[in-house]
């Protein structure tokens, strides 16, 4: 087995996403110190990849119950050093970012409510780690996604600021006005702490935001059916971008996203706890 094959690309998406890749292996249970998750192995652009469906294989898990530490630990334990993610979002600027837009997450703000596990470094025996978050999203993967979009004739992949809410309810119009004033451009429920936890594991992480609707108060009522329909329609474009990036990745690990300097070598002893 070549080194190339031993460092599979990690992929994270919503339920049903694996269908966009053609043939994926059946789900495989991976036990981690934070619980067991299901992943699927597949081949993308000639490269081995591992897909984790963050809401679970049967979409049973709401955003605040996603076992993010378990899912990312599972990917890392299978050799993943780079992760491409995607998430549905509402648009705070529907004139500029209408439904159907694919955008690159450039930065994010966390408005979850503290109920999600935010770190692997949760006390002794592990060190305290204050993850450096100036460039939370991998610049190299971002460049590769932008180039892939240009090569595939998809036009410019704009970079957006994501605000992550706790959910599962959608936002009120007042919340959306407040987030817009703070500088957010899209709103979703799943991008954090996922991006930060990936970086704690020393994995480069990039995310494609799929705009599925105008955020609350900016158009009519938001329908779950519309969100699902738009997300489904974008799958082929996301898969095409990921395939293009996968095909161009060499064997070297991401050089711009090392683990935090205080982190012990992976797999460090995990104190356990919920996902
Ligand atoms: N708000 C939060 N999460 C979302 C939205 C939204 O409008 N659309 C898709 N995911």
222 or 254: which leads in pLDDT? 222
In angstroms, rounded to a whole number, what is the distance separating the alpha carbons of residues 205 and 76? Answer: 12
* Mean pLDDT estimate for the chain: 92
State if residue 213 touches ligand 1 by the CB under 6 angstroms criterion.
yes
* 170 C-beta closer than 6 A to ligand 1: yes
What does DSSP assign to residue 97? Answer: S
Please check whether residue 267 lies inside any domain of the structure.
no
Would 155 be classed as within a structural domain? yes
Residue 264 lies in a domain: no
Mutate to test the pocket of ligand 1, among 166, 227, 228 (most ligand atoms within 8 A of CB): 227
pLDDT above 90 as % of the chain = 81
With respect to residue 195, please indicate whether it lies within any of the assigned structural domains.
Answer: yes
147 found inside a domain = yes
pLDDT band of 274, cuts 50, 70, 90: low
Q: Average pLDDT in the 181-208 region?
A: 97
Quote the DSSP letter at residue 145. Answer: H
Angle at 49 between CA 201 and CA 43, to 5 degrees: 175
Q: Which atom of ligand 1 is nearest to the CA of 231?
A: 9
Q: Which two structure tokens, joined as six digits, stand for 147? A: 């180039």
Note whether residue 222 is domain-resident: yes
* Most confident listed range (42-56, 95-109, 251-265): 95-109
* Domain boundaries, position 157: 3-248
Give a yes or no: residue 214 inside a domain. yes
- Helix, strand, coil share of the chain (percent; to 5): 30, 25, 45
Residue 266 lies in a domain: no
**Pocket mutation for ligand 1, best pick of 222, 229, 231, 234 (most atoms within 8 Å of C-beta):** 222
pLDDT value at residue 172:
98
**Overall domain count for the chain:** 1
Query: E strand or H helix at 188, and its extent?
Result: strand 186-188
Which residue bears the tokens 């993610």?
85
Q: How far is the C-alpha of 2 from the C-alpha of 93, rounded, in Å? A: 45
For the chain, give the percent of residues with pLDDT over 70. 93
Nearest CA to ligand 1 atom 6: 90
* pLDDT for residue 93 is more than 60: yes
Across 19-57, b (16+ Cβ under 10 Å) vs e yields ebbeebeebeebebbbbebbbbebbbbebbbbbbbbbbb
Predicted pLDDT of residue 230: 93
Ligand 1 pocket, 222 CB below 6 A?
yes
DSSP state of 227: H
CATH of the domain at 130: 3.40.50.1580
How far apart are the CA of 189 and the centre of ligand 1, in A?
Answer: 7
Q: From the alpha carbon of 171, which atom of ligand 1 is closest?
A: 1
Distance CA 146, CA 138 (A): 12
N-terminal to C-terminal alpha carbon distance within the chain: 32
This prediction's pTM: 0.95
Helices and strands: H and E segment counts in the chain: 6, 9
């Amino acid at each position: 087995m070549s080194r190339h094959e031993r460092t599979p690309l990690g992929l994270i998406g919503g339920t049903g996403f694996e269908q966009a890749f053609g043939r994926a292996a059946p789900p495989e249970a991976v036990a981690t110190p934070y619980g067991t998750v299901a992943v699927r192995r597949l081949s993308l652009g000639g490269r081995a990849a591992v897909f984790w469906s963050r809401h679970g294989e049967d979409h049973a898990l709401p955003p605040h119950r996603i076992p993010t530490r378990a899912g990312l630990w599972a990917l890392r334990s299978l050799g993943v050093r780079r992760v491409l993610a995607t998430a549905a979002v509402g648009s705070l600027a529907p004139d500029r970012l209408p439904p159907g837009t694919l955008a690159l997450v450039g930065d994010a703000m966390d408005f979850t409510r503290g109920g999600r596990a935010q770190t692997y470094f949760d006390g002794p025996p592990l060190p305290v780690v204050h993850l450096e978050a100036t460039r939370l999203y991998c610049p190299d993967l971002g460049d590769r996604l932008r180039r892939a979009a240009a090569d595939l004739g998809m036009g410019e992949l704009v970079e957006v600021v994501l605000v992550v809410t706790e959910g599962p309810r959608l936002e009120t119009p007042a919340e959306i006005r407040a987030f817009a004033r703070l500088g957010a451009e899209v709103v979703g429920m799943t991008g954090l702490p996922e991006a930060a936890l990936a970086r704690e594991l020393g994995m480069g992480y990039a995310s494609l935001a799929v705009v599925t609707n105008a955020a609350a108060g900016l158009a009519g009522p938001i329908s779950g059916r519309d969100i699902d329909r738009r997300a489904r329609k974008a799958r082929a474009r996301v898969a095409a971008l990921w395939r293009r990036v996968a095909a161009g990745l060499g064997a070297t690990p991401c050089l711009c996203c090392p683990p935090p300097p205080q982190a012990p070598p992976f797999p460090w002893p995990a104190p356990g706890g919920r996902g």
